[in-house]
Chains A and B, each alone.
Chain A
Amino acid sequence: MSTANPAAKKNHNPKLAVILSILLAGLGQLYNRRYVKGTLFIILEVSFILTLGQFINYGIWGIMTLGTLAGTDHSVFLLIYGLVALVLIAFAITLYIANVKDAKRDAIRLRDGEKVPTFKEALRNVWDTGFPYFFVTPGLIMLVFIVVLPLMFTIALAFTDYTQYNQPPRNLLSWIGFENFGRLFFGTGAGDSNIWQETFISVFTWTVVWTVVATTLQIALGLFLALLVNDPRIKFKRLIRTILILPWAVPAFVTILVFAAMFNDRFGAINTDVLAMFDLAIPWLQDPFWTRIALIMIQTWLGFPFVFALFTGILQSISKDWYEAADVDGASRMQKFRNITLPHVLYATAPLLIMQYAGNFNNFNIIYLFNEGGPPVRGQNAGGTDILISWVFDLTFELNQYSMAAAITLILGLIVTGFAFFQFRRTRSFKEEGNL
């Protein structure tokens, strides 16, 4: 239809429009005879360069060199300027691409003789279709600066040599690539000791064991109790539920400190009052093995009420018809549990349960408050129950190994992102299932 259009301008060249708008934003629009829009673009670009050009220039130089004059250049500031500059450039590039695309689209329309909306019409169009975006944009830009920028900063630190002996403003930082990660994973780097690698591996394995065992136990206990309490033969359900949810009501850090006192090998109630009856005295705080057992038990106690409450809710919502049908078919108690209850419960709660694992993976409170990651282990840099996050805390605040701490934080972040991604997928599959 376009070929037959009398308004078509065969000699209007979209390629030329594109090239012009690449050379200077707005030129293409001018060529397309969109004078107001073109002028706006030109003003935008010129003012961007005039106001922020200097800053971006400084920032890019800063992030590339991290400063050249020790004592005058502050590497941390330069790093942040550089990251801000990168964000600004990203905004600019997005706008620029929009400009080029716009020039091309208009040029094609003009060549084909389609009716090009006037500036007023275009404005109204934008207002009608882009209204939500218009209001979301300031929030998004804010989000980039308060959420994404600090993340970028941490990530960047992992690739620098920011340690106690190399701190700005007196010294300059420099980029060292993957050296920190090499030390952690392969024990490469200066010095004849493999302390980083050895410690990382032992801390990491315990972190995994801790996450899996403690979380699984708390979920299993929560599920078991929920099933029990949900049994129709149980009386005083409300009272039992209230009691079972109580551990949740007390702030975790109070509970942990109380437990730490109770588990004291000599003066704590557990050894002096409970185990003394059986003539036992377990070294809860001195022996890494028993400290781990104690931690897992405490976390199970702290974590099960939430799971219990969750499951209790879900169990109420399972239709009785299912069980009646199963009874008619002569299914056993176990079969009913495995084929009706469990799938229902797990399917509905999977995303939340996954986040329980993620939560325990980074459960700094309990590890630090109970025994500060102790007891010490001979020939190792971290305590017997240190998980990655409490080790990072030690590295940053006790040993000032900032870049190494950032590297481990990055690894932690990636792992938790994995959990979150998995959870997100589960959530979506759940929703789609609901739509069917």
Chain B
Amino acid sequence: MKKYLSIFAMVLLLIGVLAACAPDREESGGSNDDSGGGDSEESGDQPESLSVWVNDSEEQKAVLDTLFEKYTEETGIEIEVTPMNMLDQVEALNLDGPAGNGPDLFFQPHDRIGNIVLQGLASPIDLGEAEGTYSETAIEAVTYDGEIYGAPLVVETYGTFYNKDLVEEAPATMDELMAIAEEQTDAASDQYGFLMEAANFYFSYPFFGANGAYVFNNEGGSYDVEDIGLNNEGAVAGGELIQSWYENGYIPVEINPDIMNGLFTDGKVGVAITGPWNIPAYEEALGDSLGTAILPTVDGNNATSFVGVKSWMVSDYSENKEAATDLALFLTNEENSTAYFEGAGELPANQAALEGEAVTSNELIAPFAEQIQYGTPMPSTPEMQQVWDPINNALSFIAQGDDVQEVLDEAVQQIKDNIATAQQ
């Protein structure tokens, strides 16, 4: 009896609650509907302040703080700065944006743009006349589905480092590099002519790309994820080239960044391929003996290194999209991105700044700026996330001597499977 009664009570209560289940959502359509741009907002009116999320690196924040001060002086708009790790920003924006606590402007590497757009967190940005002032590669990088989603601030790629005590001149072609490797490699005494993380696709892509391989076919600013070019002839040629390094004993299978950096700073490596972030450590160890150059050409083609671009993006939840865009343009103009380069050491995406005195006068950095023009932006489509694991695994198998065509076919099939599974 008691049991029935309590069940009855529960049911009664539930019915009482559920009966009126039509939610009142009259305030719908908030900030999210005007994704076409900030036209609906009064364009003449200036907001009192803009909120910006910056990467939580102290060097970067220090430079940006001075730039923000300058902007406030010029326009009277206060900038509220929140330092937050770049990689945590998307997750935070996903929750803070709809709740109304999000920033107007945030800072992201371009290869996450696809994912950000999938979540509906960013607005396309109208760069206006400024569009031509950025490097072409940078604009290509921040374009997703034909729309530009960021004002590029930083470009980044890798290049050749060499030890002038061991190698007089940087190798300009693959043949020269192989000659150095042949001549100087003596694995028994840990002496190497040429080292790189060849089993990491990020670094080994140039040798695929130079022969005509591609990750996803890109036409008119959007990627065709059905069309994967990682097992075509060029890719196999690249894979075989990489395999030959292992077979000839130039590069040990067990190489990892720590070991490579250790050997290079010990002066035991002639040439290494890695990124400019290693310059401070290498320079400290080798001093004036350190030289940098663009990547060697492969069969006469320039090596197509992956280019990463970091850009300012406008939150879709921002109520001041126009002002936010204006700030993004201000931060990435020639003068300010040069200032940012000088403070934070990251290459500017602004073409004039990239070719400017500050960059070209820096011998170690200048080759990376040159390499940018031969590079390809990493695909920003979300499917790229399904590429890394299978292709890196394939490179491990190639390093161990498995058949290149077979391994690459398998990898491409796995990428396709993963994409299909992810899309379900």
Contact = CB atoms under 8 A, between A and B. Distances in A.
Interface string B108-122: 000000010011110
* Most interface-central of B13, B23, B118, B407 (chain A CB within 10 A): B23
Interface string A70-86: 01111011000000000
Interface of A: 18, 22, 53, 56-58, 60-62, 64, 69, 71-74, 76-77, 89, 92-93, 96-97, 100-101, 104, 161, 163-165, 167-171, 189-191, 193, 195-196, 261, 264-267, 285-286, 374-376, 378-379, 381, 398-401
A110 B424 CA distance: 65
B382 A93 contact: no
Given A170-B118, A261-B258, A399-B422, 16 more contacts: A22-B9, A56-B17, A60-B18, A72-B28, A72-B29, A73-B25, A74-B98, A76-B95, A89-B14, A93-B9, A96-B13, A164-B115, A169-B98, A193-B417, A267-B190, A286-B396
Given A72-B30, A76-B95, A170-B118, A97 B9 contact: yes
* Most interface-central of A76, A164, A196, A285 (chain B CB within 10 A): A164
Contacts of B382: 164-165, 400
Nearest to B93: A169
Contacts of A60: 17-18, 21
Contacts of A168: 94, 119
A285 B9 contact: no
Contacts of A163: 422, 424
A378 B95 CA distance: 38
A22 B10 contact: no
Interface stretch (B210-218, B231-239, B385-393): B385-393
Given A165-B422, A195-B421, A265 B397 contact: no
Contact of A169 (B6, B32, B115, B386): B32
17 contacts: A22-B9, A57-B21, A64-B21, A69-B25, A72-B25, A72-B32, A93-B13, A96-B13, A100-B5, A163-B424, A164-B118, A169-B121, A193-B417, A286-B253, A398-B385, A399-B386, A400-B385
B221 to A, nearest CB: 20
> 8 smallest A-B Cβ distances: which pairs?
A170-B120, A376-B393, A266-B254, A193-B417, A71-B32, A167-B119, A265-B254, A191-B420
B396 A375 contact: yes
B131 to A, nearest CB: 26
B33 interface: yes
A169 B120 contact: yes
Nearest to B27: A72
A40 B191 CA distance: 86
Contacts of B21: 57, 60-61, 64
Contacts of A62: 23
A169 B94 contact: yes
Contacts of A72: 25, 28-30, 32
A57 B417 contact: no
Nearest to B190: A267
A169 B94 CA distance: 7
B259 A401 contact: no
Given A399-B386, A399-B418, A71 B253 contact: no
Interface in B377-419: 382, 385-386, 388-389, 392-393, 396-397, 400, 407, 410, 414, 417-418
A371 to B, nearest CB: 11
A189 B417 CA distance: 13
A93 B33 contact: no
